[in-house]
Structure 1
């Protein structure tokens, strides 16, 4: 139902604004009432409330929103710590979806967090890089900041942990306020498995319970692969090898020694071996065909 101030003579007397000044709580009369707001002619606000707010920081419920970039051999996450605000959450989701990121749904923190508190995100995997190191919890309605987590070879499950300091001191101890496990099936379209599937080559013919093809024919591959350079280049391109490891293997004297070192780097998991197998099919087609007989 719509109404106008002129229709209700005493409408202005029905509204007041409560605020705090140096003398305590104050009710201030309004000069205008519209359908969306009230107006004060000469508002006089005390900075006391702002001081109280800065000393006794408000505790709020929060969401942790996680998005990942699909179809990449690495894992890149965008992790948001925001207030529990459906409109803000929808805005973040729209922005991330527009650049091709997909959501990983996890439980939100089960405790209240303080506004203006600094929080640090840790990923319990050795190769993870997280930036920035710390974010401050604040209400950013337009463009909230986020943590970027980059993991070059996501070969196993790992935990994400949000931590905050006990105090503002530099030496203050960090304690966890939220933890979740990121599993391989949370990001099925990224990582080495996805890279192997989209590499254009066939994947390994062995089932999970069988010995992998490259393990089964390890010695034959070590002895019979002579042109290792192109294989190393593809392993580097597919993020199976880091640049430092690539340089080390390239400097080794013989193809046999290089192949043995490559096998030592494939212990991370089946995904690496699948990529190695697809590269061998591409670069050593006749050898692989002979071994499959």
Structure 2
């Protein structure tokens, strides 16, 4: 992949007057089996979810494309699956080749093998689903090339990789009195302890904050002043906006939010 320099950039589009694109993509789509001769960089994406006493993992083997990775992240997040960060395969792989997943005993893996393919981000991506009970000291996973039985990737999933999954804010029952929102209950702690405000603002820009509001908050001198300014805007927020801010805080300050949830509920937020 290369970056093309546009001849002209307009407000809503860019102009390439003399683009030079490789025909490889066309050949891969039109000629069956052509991709088997092209090595590409791939990544593994692992997600987990606690289901009663079991743990469910989703393992993807996909081309290293940021748009595909984001589409998978968004899809898994809908079902509250959490990604585990593990190294990708060291060597390049072949599009169209089949790969087999195996692991420690007492694992149920469906399916046993997958074909590495290039699907557009808008389509559902293929993945291994792994059912595990108590993982004990860890689970070892391996992926082999089906044809040559070469080991192309392995990883050890340890209990420490499974960090607490933060619960979603439950919707209030229509007949029940509305409880104060998480942001309202913990405003003082959030103002005092949120230490990285700019990444939080980036997540809220356009969705909760207008350009003018975004710049006004960023202009404050300290993190506490920024949070006070942010909360001064909350009087006009709907509950949906506050939910967005809550989710952004979960992404940028997960340990702080977990601690506040544990203190408010009196229980440990584990599984």
TM-score, normalised to structure 1's length? 0.45
Q: Which has the larger radius of gyration?
A: 1
